[in-house]
Chains A and B, each alone.
Chain A
């Protein structure tokens, strides 16, 4: 069953009984909520995601709800909690949805240490994946959104999940959050993309979420092998440049920008070393999204393993 098989009333009931148990890549996430305004948002933005009903183990138990007691009434807030603990200060009720999305990422980043978690967008075509490791503000989500509407499959816009046993990348095709100017950039780039409502004045500015293509969500249990490492950077008015970089530099950039490189220690060293050996490594500077997508397309067609 998928979220779009449910009516709004059913979604509301599932949320209230902690049975809204969605599969997001390798993770099963149970969401409890009594906030009515979340129902239409989840119904629209999550509609391709599977709802798990069979007897299986959920990984995260997340609650986003009104505060208890008097604060329920005199302050319109949403409180994010996991297993009864509240890691963040309450959010304005209008920001419940972005808070939920961001909170889920935080929980994954602080818990899923059985995997190596790189801070990277990942897309795939013909079985070969590109990783885009980047620091916040370097335009990784925007580039990633543009690529997944240009024939690439989305694995993730945030997590490069590497399975230690074989070094493959596990997909976690979540909604792609766009910030501020990027929202209009993607609207113009791919008018067919479905973008959720804009949330203004969140802790990260204006945020809107892009629904990944249906195919990316359907194939979320299909891993991919890393083939290219491209370090993107958006610079206003810069001419396009896509230059090879030394593998030693690529290694350092991947290792120092991971969520849990230190935690996995030797395993992480081995995984990143193997990945850098197997990948062609490039640095990309761009200002025009069309040029960047074309350049990546040409690069990956010309040396297609």
Chain B
């Protein structure tokens, strides 16, 4: 094995082991800590390590230097959490008097519902799901209470309105926080077409609030859709999304009826394939406990073996960060291929071709080089 491969393996093992068994972290050498901090930062899981160590009471058993990095990460997460909580409070204030169902998605949902993925998770913006017929009403209300529609070029605006599953983000004039309003979880043009009415209809209300969150099975499925279909060509598939899925499965798996309902629900929404992959890789990387019967049930939805073999080759490359000083060209290719795959699933081929060539044209002209400093800062965590 070449040095690159050895280093990649070491970095990935260190990260997965840290997530699987945080209680072993006090045994790490300084050299391992140095690498773990870099790798965990890259996949934005430093905060998760902090949360795990802190709940096990082990924060003072690790080197002070490492603890500094974890504490820094915790402070940023705590700050984002405050911002997101306040933003949700303001959204409810702005929408007072309407009885439109507002369903929180992803981070905000985990936080407000007090679910296991919440501790140590970095929050970006607030994502909401609401029936399509209510979108313009909500948008207008928010705009009249201090949010504004982000200025997009006509191509991007049209892209959002005609093809996408969400409207262009709204941003608050003073706070700068963003709200993404979704009316479905995948673009209209997508080949997978989970019926939003089913998901909205089965959403669970949060106590003492107009807010709702997706029902357990839908929450898992949405997280998987996000993992496999909203990738990034450079960052690759997000390991933290798979970790969310693992933690949700562990948590809801204790509830009666969850496992029995999961595969039928995935089939009903047309999301059996992402569920197959999700269960497969959660088990592979996080040793998720999944009942044998569920694995048997989902077998029927697996792809043929050449596709399976290809995914088994690409997914770990795109999902795991590797060693920052020994980047593997093949991992970059895998990340790019899975990104193209996600677009392939979301758009008909001709439209995809048109979209990608337009974006490539912009990159060529150097137009797309706008740097969002706030996002850049966030990526540092």
Contacts and interface: CB of A to CB of B under 8 A. Distances in A.
Taking residues whose C-beta sits less than 8 angstroms from the other chain, chain B's interface range is: 20 to 34
A116 to B, nearest CB: 10
B138 interface: no
A125 interface: no
A84 B327 contact: yes
B69 A114 contact: yes
- A-B pairs, top 5 by smallest CB distance, nearest first, are A113-B72, A57-B65, A114-B72, A84-B324, A114-B71
Contacts of B327: 84
Given A83-B38, A114-B69, A61 B325 contact: yes
11 contacts: A57-B30, A57-B63, A61-B38, A61-B325, A83-B38, A107-B380, A110-B376, A110-B377, A112-B68, A113-B72, A114-B75
B156 interface: no
A109 to B, nearest CB: 9
B79 A263 contact: yes
Given A59-B65, A111-B72, A114-B69, 15 more contacts: A57-B63, A57-B65, A57-B66, A59-B68, A61-B38, A83-B38, A83-B41, A87-B376, A107-B380, A110-B377, A112-B72, A113-B72, A262-B79, A264-B75, A265-B82
B10 to A, nearest CB: 16
Given A57-B37, A57-B63, A114 B68 contact: yes
B355 interface: no
Contacts of B33: 57
Contact of B324 (A57, A83, A112): A83
By CB atoms of chain A within 10 A, which of B72, B78, B377, B380 has the most?
Answer: B380
B297 interface: no
A262 B79 CA distance: 7
Contacts of B324: 61, 83-84
Contacts of B30: 55-57
Nearest to B41: A83
Contact of A57 (B34, B41, B73, B380): B34
A28 B29 CA distance: 17
Taking residues whose C-beta sits less than 8 angstroms from the other chain, chain A's interface range is: 20 to 34
Contacts of B66: 57
Contacts of A61: 38, 324-325
B76 interface: yes
Interface string A251-266: 0000000001011110
- The prevalent SS among residues of B at the interface is helix
Interface string B13-41: 00000000000000001110110011001
Contacts of A111: 69, 72, 380-381
A239 interface: no
B216 to A, nearest CB: 33
Contacts of A294: none
B379 interface: yes
Contact of A55 (B31, B78, B376): B31
Contact of B379 (A55, A57, A85, A114): A85
Contacts of A57: 30, 33-34, 37, 63, 65-66
A263 B76 contact: yes
Contact of A84 (B65, B68, B82, B325): B325
Interface string B29-63: 11101100110011000000000000000000001
A34 interface: no
A84 B39 CA distance: 11
Contacts of A290: none
Given A83-B42, A84-B327, A111-B380, A56 B65 contact: yes
Nearest to B376: A87
Nearest to B73: A113
Contact of B75 (A83, A87, A107, A263): A263
Interface of A: 18, 28, 55-59, 61, 83-85, 87, 107, 110-114, 260, 262-265, 267
A216 B291 CA distance: 63
B380 A18 contact: no
B347 to A, nearest CB: 29
A41 to B, nearest CB: 23
A172 B75 CA distance: 21
Nearest to B78: A265
Interface in B323-381: 324-325, 327, 376-377, 379-381
A85 B63 CA distance: 26
A257 to B, nearest CB: 17
A87 B73 CA distance: 19
B43 to A, nearest CB: 11
Nearest to B326: A84
A87 B325 CA distance: 16
Contacts of A263: 75-76, 79
A267 B76 CA distance: 13
A113 B42 contact: no
Contacts of A113: 71-73, 75-76
B76 A18 contact: no
Interface in B67-92: 68-69, 71-73, 75-76, 78-79, 82
Given A61-B324, A61-B325, A110-B377, A265 B79 contact: yes
A85 B75 CA distance: 23
Contacts of A107: 380
Interface in B93-146: none
Contacts of B82: 265
Nearest to A84: B324
B370 to A, nearest CB: 12
Contacts of B29: 55
Contact of A58 (B34, B42, B380): B34
By CB atoms of chain B within 10 A, which of A18, A110, A262, A265 has the most?
Answer: A110
B84 to A, nearest CB: 14
A205 B92 CA distance: 48
A241 B131 CA distance: 64
By CB atoms of chain A within 10 A, which of B63, B73, B82, B325 has the most?
Answer: B325
A18 B325 contact: yes
Contacts of B38: 61, 83
Contacts of B75: 113-114, 260, 263-265, 267
Contacts of B63: 57
